[in-house]
Structure 1
């Protein structure tokens, strides 16, 4: 795997960015994290901060986006690539030194995007289920791969607007690259190394999921045996976790890698039992 320049360690001045109001729908899909963008069309760059409240920026969801992006590289799944930036930002006239993530616009100027759930509700036939809707359009393999990935990172928030469709100029429609994976891994262990060290990485946490059940492990039973993903091994540690210990306490990095690898082993067990 070729290493990418996806972490900017030198502090960058982004105090000029104006972040969305949490009370309004943000650019892209709605969410609780502050977002913004600069540029237009194919030159647009999106920025997102980790969770914040009256205490300041308390989360590390932006770091999760980078780890998830690298894992998707290894697995060979089409996705939006994220970059992590050490940044000085301004929120409500307060300055913060933090880590934020950025991504490039994945659409061409001639393409339009739409949320999967909105399109599904508009076009579904009778009581058709989302996965059957995708099978008819040849999208099911991508959805199954997404479900495996979401299990590996314990993604709690794959709602219907976190899956997008792209309409091309000729009217054809395709699934967009995967994006928005911050609410995953150890996202809830805010500045708490003891909580992180005791975190059960194999616990089947109830999650927002648009396609099957709220149990990510139960959803593995719906994955066909012939779904092909690149294998994950201990050799991938250097690529996926490179630089993370310089950003998060080492206990987080160890737990995150343990989560990914142990869940991969569990996925293989379930697939081999079919």
Structure 2
């Protein structure tokens, strides 16, 4: 159990009508960003922070450029009231000498014309492989919220561009159900739902058509899942873990059978 009662939390609206609370501590490369799951009417209703850690480990397993998230059950204070909840954290990825610009801002500022799509713009500035990773990863985890601020471009002093690590992936998998097994058991992980996507299509499966080549991804196995769920038994129940595993196995096989991966 971590004591994070010293942190001050700021509110931001969520599309679900709740709030996502965030905090930070430190400075420079040692700056740590903290985030909480959806908070409604004095209680946490989702499991975004645990999902953030799970998919971060998944991305690392596949070799995708995903931001590393860690997490702990922690004591925190919100509006003078103490809570115990799972808190996700990550380190600042913007190195000294770089400036981070949201993709939406960069695109609107530098596109050739109003008819140049975000996908064409990203390809023009050399982001095709990065987009391939995003499209494949988001399909696997069923990420519903890859909006224009959830991708950043890092510019150095010579105007060279490096895409940010893939971050803010918590609104994926079973994020909205918490540990409500009744809802989780009815979760349709085989569907192709419409999502908030700034680049490409609003459908995760359709975005696979924009992947430029095949990628070799290691097969998920028991050891990979053990590491993925390590330390989360108090947050994600065993039955919940098995359903997430079934979803990832299913979607991995779809990628394999569709020729996207080998």
* TM score, norm. by length of structure 2: 0.92
Q: Does 1:93 align with 2:83?
A: no
What corresponds to 2:202 in structure 1?
A: 214
Q: In the TM superposition, what whole-angstrom CA distance separates every residue of 1:221-262 from its partner, at most 9, and x where no partner exists?
A: 2223x2324323224222222233332122211111111111
Instruction: Tell me the secondary structure at the aligned position of residue 107 of structure 1.
Output: coil
Question: What's the offset of the Cα at 1:130?
Answer: 1.6
Tell me, in whole angstroms, the C-alpha distance in 2 between the residues paired with 1:72 and 1:186: 17
Question: What's the offset of the Cα at 1:190?
Answer: 3.1
What corresponds to 1:253 in structure 2?
A: 241
Q: Which runs of 4+ in 1 moved over 6 A?
A: none
Which of 55, 64, 89 is equivalent to 1:77?
Answer: 64
Which of 104, 120, 126 is equivalent to 1:138?
Answer: 126
What corresponds to 2:9 in structure 1?
A: 19
What corresponds to 1:28 in structure 2?
A: none
Q: Answer whether contact 1:196 1:251 (CA < 8 A) is retained.
A: no
Q: Answer whether contact 1:66 1:82 (CA < 8 A) is retained.
A: yes
Tell me, in whole angstroms, the C-alpha distance in 1 between the residues paired with 2:6 and 2:79: 12
Tell me, in whole angstroms, the C-alpha distance in 1 between the residues paired with 2:143 and 2:151: 13
Question: What's the offset of the Cα at 1:216?
Answer: 0.8
Aligned-residue RMSD, C-alpha: 1.9
Q: In the TM superposition, what whole-angstrom CA distance separates every residue of 1:137-166 from its partner, at most 9, and x where no partner exists?
A: 221111111111001000000001000010
What corresponds to 1:27 in structure 2?
A: none
Question: What's the offset of the Cα at 1:94?
Answer: 1.0
Which of 251, 256, 262 is equivalent to 2:250?
Answer: 262
Q: In the TM superposition, what whole-angstrom CA distance separates every residue of 1:192-214 from its partner, at most 9, and x where no partner exists?
A: 21111221211212110111211
Structure 2: state its 5+ residue gaps: none
What corresponds to 2:183 in structure 1?
A: 195
Which of 35, 38, 42 is equivalent to 2:29?
Answer: 42
Instruction: Tell me the secondary structure at the aligned position of residue 177 of structure 2.
Output: coil
Q: Answer whether contact 2:73 2:87 (CA < 8 A) is retained.
A: yes
Mean CA deviation greater in 228-237 or 32-41? 228-237
Report the count of equivalent residues: 256
